[in-house]
Chain A
Amino acid sequence: MPEKAPIVEIRNLFKSYQRGSQTIPVLQDIDLDIAEGEFLALMGPSGSGKTTLLNLIAGIDRADSGIMRIGGIDITPLSETDLAKWRAANVGFIFQFYNLIPVLTAYENVELPLLLTGLSKKERREHVETALRLVNLGDRMEHYPTQLSGGQQQRVAIARAVVPDPSIIVADEPTGDLDRVSAFEILDLMEKLVHEFGKTIIMVTHDPRAAQEAHVVRNLEKGVLTEERGPGSGGKGQGREDFGFRTPAP
């Protein structure tokens, strides 16, 4: 990708955990570039540090050392507050267990990230409805998470992730808790986000079939990034299309 600076640029990233007096190295000297509009799958055995790396990229955890330039911003020196603002504006999250707020409806869950923006109620409604229609849940807006299937809940989570129109979406085993059919729907949606809306997706997965959808597959083993594989069945994103709305930064 010589024509454009990568959206994620990681250099010499180290991360360890302290367990009592013991220091457990988790990530060791990670270098990673991810181009804008790329769909990257991160694989590797359990405990290899995939979630840790994803959390660092998404700005919900802090590295010991190293440089992380994301969207042109070095996020390592940001304060908690600034990091939270940066996250809200730039990163969408999809988790293995959907992590919807059970007391809120699908609509309200998707609306959550927008509450931190200056959008009016009416504008929020437009955005939420667009996002829910995008994931094919326009008719389930008033349902509570418990009234939805796992696949539907994950689609709500995707709507929540994309509604503030972030450039990067991180997904930690998004299909890990789903049956094949639902998993396929989710992967299809992610594919759509990359292709039609130019999102950059970083997905941790154990499922080789899921990894197939990605352009790039990276392997993490004992805290070290190993092999690199070229595009799978999916093609590279065609650049950014308008998602239908723009969200002002909070």
Chain B
Amino acid sequence: MYTLKLIFKNAFRHKLRTCLTILSVAVAILSFGLLRTVVRAWYVGVEASSASRLVTRNSISLVFPLPLSYREKIRQVTGVKQVSHGNWFGGIYIDEKNFFPSFAMEPKTLLELYPEYVLPPDQKAAFLRDRKACVAGLKTARKYGWKIGDTITLKGTIFPGNWEFVLRGIYKGSNKNIDETQFFFHWDYMNETMKKIIPRRADQVGFYMIELKDPDTAAEVSLAIDGTFKNSLAETLTETEKAFQMSFVSMTEAIVVAIQLVSFVVIIIIFAVSANTMAMTARERLGEYAVFKTLGFSGWHIGAMIFGESIFITMLGCAAGIIFTFPAAKAFGSAMSTFIPVFNIETKTIYMDIAAALIVGIAAAVFPAYRAINIRIADGLRRIG
């Protein structure tokens, strides 16, 4: 009790110094939390991907297509439950800076394979019925103020021309890791148009998505599919959706590693700040600690006071940092929504904030406490006056 009271009173003896330390810890925890969230957001596609789905693409590169005829052959491979197919469309909405991922997809199988894209039944029916229909994720629809029934024109980059769609549905993610910025429309609509304007590019599929009967058979089924097309004109590469997503992430891995590094550097910096504060504090109070020891208080008491004060200060900073992380992440997330579609603070990040602050609080007190505990009383007393 007394120790707690002393810790509290001691912590605010130098109000300015303590407040500045708390502020720097808060800022550091805030940046640490945001950076961790960016790192998590990078992997969110990987995490949201299902273990029971495979992706088949051209083994040379994703930019090379596969023939539409593969669809039936893939469907016949044992272990395959359902096949969908699609192309990356990469359309531009009004201006290049208005980026969102757009895909031409086989609509019926898409919705069957991806139950995580949640559409109200009437919107689903309307989407399937209308050849020129499209659906957009809630975030994109909100961002551009789209309403059901709106006509949306995308300028094709890979598929030339201005493409007109009617918004028939707005999907929501079944959980908060689901990307709500995507845009889907009928693959057939695109294919028929291509047949008219560039016939040689018709019936070409960017990738197949496969639903497995049993997730445990992913490896065998992948091999079987790729085996089917071995030595054909377009050989395939089949992998789990997770691995497929990971291959995108790994292209940018260096950035993620850099961000991760910075997030730890931030922690090291607050360690230095806190350690400095605690060292100053403990040095000023060596005389007082000597008085405590003179009165018969043990090194444990002295240690408890110093560690307690250090942890108290860093935890106050941590709490402030966490509180500010939420509005900051919200602002950051909406500003960066084009690049980072899903930006949520995970509970794990909060735990990491707390753990980091705790470790800093403890580490910052080690040296000052060691010194205060071990200084001879007579020497400590000589420091007064």
Contact = CB atoms under 8 A, between A and B. Distances in A.
A194 B294 CA distance: 22
Contacts of A52: 378
Given A55-B378, A60-B377, A115 B298 contact: no
Interface in A16-71: 51-52, 55, 58, 60-61
A12 interface: no
Interface stretch (B5-13, B43-51, B178-186): B5-13
Contacts of A89: 296
Nearest to A161: B295
Given A61-B378, A87-B296, A250-B296, A97 B291 contact: no
A200 to B, nearest CB: 18
Contacts of A87: 294-296
Given A55-B378, A61-B378, A103-B10, A97 B385 contact: yes
A60 B294 contact: yes
B157 to A, nearest CB: 68
Contact of B295 (A61, A113, A177): A113
Interface in A116-174: 116, 160
A78 interface: no
Contact of A88 (B291, B295, B377, B381): B295
B169 interface: no
Given A87-B296, A93-B294, A116-B296, A61 B13 contact: no
Contacts of B292: 101, 112
B376 interface: yes
Those 5 A-B pairs whose CB atoms lie nearest each other, nearest first: A88-B296, A103-B9, A60-B377, A61-B378, A97-B385
Interface string B280-317: 00000001100111111110000000000000000000
B2 interface: yes
26 contacts: A51-B378, A55-B377, A55-B378, A58-B294, A60-B293, A60-B377, A60-B381, A61-B376, A61-B378, A84-B296, A84-B297, A87-B295, A87-B296, A93-B294, A95-B291, A95-B384, A96-B385, A97-B385, A99-B291, A99-B381, A101-B288, A102-B13, A113-B295, A116-B297, A160-B295, A250-B296
Band of interface residues on B:
20 to 34
A85 interface: yes
A233 interface: no
Nearest to B2: A115
Interface of B: 2, 6, 9-10, 13, 287-288, 291-298, 376-378, 381-382, 384-385
Contacts, number: 62
Contacts of A96: 385
B6 to A, nearest CB: 7
B51 to A, nearest CB: 59
B378 A60 contact: yes
B57 to A, nearest CB: 69
Nearest to B377: A60
B378 A81 contact: no
Nearest to A115: B2
Given A60-B378, A61-B377, A103-B13, A97 B294 contact: no
A61 B377 CA distance: 7
B250 to A, nearest CB: 55
Contacts of B295: 87-88, 93, 112-113, 116, 160
Contacts of A112: 292, 295
A160 B295 CA distance: 9
Given A97-B384, A115-B2, A85 B378 contact: no
Contacts of A55: 377-378, 381
